[in-house]
Amino acid sequence: MIDLRFLRENPEAVKENIRKKFQDHKLPLVDEVIELDEKARTAQQEADSLRAKRNSVSKQIGALMKEGKKEEAMALKEQVAKDAERLAQLEEQEKELQEMVTKIMMTIPNIIDPSVPIGKDDSCNVEIQKYGDPVVPDFEIPYHTEIMERFDGIDLDAAGKVAGNGFYYLMGDIARLHSAVISYARDFMIDRGFTYCVPPFMIRSNVVTGVMSFDEMDAMMYKIEGEDLYLIGTSEHSMIGKFIDTIQEEEKLPYTLTSYSPCFRKEKGAHGIEERGVYRIHQFEKQEMIVVCRPEESAKWYDQLWQNTVDLFRSLDIPVRTLECCSGDLADLKVKSCDVEAWSPRQKKYFEVGSCSNLGDAQARRLKIRVKGKDKNKYFAHTLNNTVVAPPRMLIAFLENNLNADGSVNVPEALRPYMGGKEKLLPLHE
């Protein structure tokens, strides 16, 4: 959510930002919120005036009663009563107007960074850099579920009977590999100075609306029936929520946290063959990183966060690239975002395995995460998040890039301590 004062003073800049996001249907909202805000401030001014008058008249009444001027005092009391009725009306009007303003402000997109490429959708995203040499072996690489089945490592049919489509059982070496990747990612981030955290896996609605847009909420979140609780779609949600309605001391920033959680997502809509198996699912596990910092530090942390993911994948012999998200592909709260994509030798192309985002002060403004500076002035923090690793999707990249012609899978040196020292996984079936 952007600063209301900024919108009031720079309406054309806000409208131009909306155009860059290809959300022209939201253009009238800028003028609408300005009009509602003006009415709210007018009501507030009149209410403040009546409160000041009430205090002044109350003193007069007391003085008149002491002087024995009862009739004059009673006349003033009648005026105070009338003013009280008007004040109650104004307070209710002001509350309603402010709620309307807030509701609209929650739908107006954040101001994007000037470096963001302008484009309507993800087809306009721009490749930044490649890391590692993408290799296509001289043998055929099966679909990822076929590779897992050779190890008796997956059962989609049983999961379908138990929970429906979008769920899975992982077993044996594949399940162990899944846990090894998560454990390795945890230690990788701890070694980079991040504090490890296991957060709540459910959050209240005020946290949900604080960390994401309404459209994202509808497309992603599972609601717990009968309770004000939602299953998290990523630990970023509860990790940023940890700081809700707080005032942080500036000298304690930045907070750099890495968190583990299961993630639950609706994943609405139909998906193609390449997004079946365990690519797009309703339940998965994830290691995340988040940063809460001063505004002037967020650009630096943004670059450090996506670099962490690149370094982790390269340590597991997986070629990756970074892709700058264009304006139309940015969620409303984001200032800037890039995807990390892993190489798929089977598809002969890259696919998304993580996303890094700088949200500026949008989440902090919604959740009231403030910082007290050395000068005692308060300001909103900046928040950032990035995927460290999210198996089982990451397992697709891992298995394809480490598969041998005989069906065995190499275990990179960095992962061997988490796999009982194994250097290779050997299939149980051809």
Q: Is the pTM of this model over 0.85?
A: yes
User: Which of 86-95, 161-170, 179-188 has the lowest average pLDDT?
Assistant: 86-95
User: Which of 36-45, 124-133, 266-275 has the lowest average pLDDT?
Assistant: 266-275
pLDDT band, residue 279 (cuts 50/70/90): confident
Q: What is the model's pLDDT at position 376?
A: 92
- Is residue 125's pLDDT more than 70? yes
- Dist. CA 403–CA 392, nearest whole Å: 16
For the stretch 335-344, pLDDT in tens is: 999 999 999 9
Q: What is the model's pLDDT at position 212?
A: 87
Q: What is the model's pLDDT at position 267?
A: 76
Q: What is the model's pLDDT at position 223?
A: 93
CA of residue 151 relative to chain centroid, distance: 35
- For the chain, first and last CA: distance in Å? 54
- Is residue 384's pLDDT more than 80? yes
Strand partners, 230: 203, 223
- Is residue 26's pLDDT more than 90? yes
User: What's the whole-number mean pLDDT along residues 384-408?
Assistant: 94
In order of their start, the domains of the chain are: 4-105 (1.10.287.40), 122-425 (3.30.930.10)
Strand partners, 22: none
Treating both helix axes as pointing N-terminal to C-terminal, what angle do 11-20 and 27-66 enclose, rounded to 10 degrees? 150
Q: What is the model's pLDDT at position 234?
A: 93
The pLDDT mean for the chain works out to 91
For the stretch 72-91, pLDDT in tens is: 766 666 676 677 777 888 88
User: Which of 152-161, 210-219, 410-419 has the lowest average pLDDT?
Assistant: 210-219
For the stretch 309-322, pLDDT in tens is: 999 999 999 999 99
User: What's the whole-number mean pLDDT along residues 259-288?
Assistant: 80
For the stretch 183-210, pLDDT in tens is: 999 999 999 999 999 999 999 999 999 9
- With 0-12 / 13-18 / 19 or more C-beta atoms within 10 angstroms meaning exposed / middle / buried, residue 46 is middle
- Is residue 270's pLDDT more than 50? no
